[in-house]
Chains A and B, each alone.
Chain A
Amino acid sequence: NAGVMQNPRHLVRRRGQEARLRCSPMKGHSHVYWYRQLPEEGLKFMVYLQKENIIDESGMPKERFSAEFPKEGPSILRIQQVVRGDSAAYFCASSQGSEEDTQYFGPGTRLTVL
């Protein structure tokens, strides 16, 4: 049973480009979470999605960031017009969504903005 998959593992973008980060949850999991870890900081919640629905996006920056979890395919975190301050590790987690749900984390995507 494969764990949470994220790709790419490393992504380099120039300022102003778009970054698309993908997350495939564990088999049987329908809840996805995105977290960001800035250099020398802890993980911060960004967004919580279920299939085709955004449940909680209270941690998402108001501009340039969006997330989706379509009926088919992986969850996508999209960052438009990237800036250097977006350089960070982006982690995806998934859970079954039951009452005692443990979140299982992927290996992360490390975004570097030049």
Chain B
Amino acid sequence: KQEVTQIPAALSVPEGENLVLNCSFTDSAIYNLQWFRQDPGKGLTSLLLIQSSQREQTSGRLNASLDKSSGRSTLYIAASQPGDSATYLCAVRPWETSGSRLTFGEGTQLTVNP
């Protein structure tokens, strides 16, 4: 059974700091890994999707890496801003033809202080 763990559970940083969020998963047989952002009381916004054959993806100040063999992914946020404050979730999709369900971690709650 796939389990996804995110560390730390909460993180508070001053504005402008670079930071790294960690995600680990127990079963390396994944199709892809996705990072999401969730604002309080809102839905999920997809940030980055990394296919199992890829090592990293970048979008603006965000960079996500994937090491499938060790079951780890990191989300790097450069020059953090107060608007980055949210809960960040990682999710993996299993390598099964009909298994499109995502398994989520419990998230890292990020607060960026002005």
Interface residues of A (CB under 8 A from B): 4, 31, 33, 35, 41-45, 48, 55-56, 58-59, 91, 93, 95, 97, 100-108, 110
> DSSP class of B's interface residues: helix, strand, loop or mixed?
strand
Q: Is the CB of B101 within 8 A of A59?
A: yes
B34 at the interface (CB under 8 A from A): yes
A-contacting residues, B89-105, CB 8 Å: 89, 91, 98-105
A43-B89, A102-B34 given; 5 more Cβ-contact pairs under 8 Å: A33-B100, A41-B106, A45-B103, A58-B101, A101-B100
Q: Is the CB of B46 within 8 A of A44?
A: no
Q: Is the CB of A42 within 8 A of B104?
A: yes
Which residues of chain A have C-beta atoms less than 8 A from B43's C-beta?
A: 4, 91, 105-108
B61 at the interface (CB under 8 A from A): no
Of B4, B44, B107, the contact of A105 (CB 8 Å cutoff): B44
Interchain nearest-CB distance for A97 vs B (Å): 8
Q: Is the CB of A95 within 8 A of B104?
A: no
A-contacting residues, B56-114, CB 8 Å: 89, 91, 98-107
A-contacting residues, B15-41, CB 8 Å: 32, 34, 36, 41
The tally of residues in B whose CB lies under 8 Å from a CB in A reads: 24
Interchain nearest-CB distance for B32 vs A (Å): 8
Q: Is the CB of A56 within 8 A of B34?
A: no
Q: Complex formed: what's the CA distance from A59 to B94 in Å?
A: 14
Q: Is the CB of A103 within 8 A of B34?
A: yes
Which residues of chain B have C-beta atoms less than 8 A from A97's C-beta?
A: 100
Q: Which of A42, A48, A100, A108 is packed against the most chain B CB atoms within 10 Å?
A: A42
Q: Complex formed: what's the CA distance from A20 to B43 in Å?
A: 19
Given A102-B46, A105-B43, A107-B42, do A56 and B104 touch, yes or no (CB 8 Å)?
no
Which residues of chain B have C-beta atoms less than 8 A from A56's C-beta?
A: 98-101
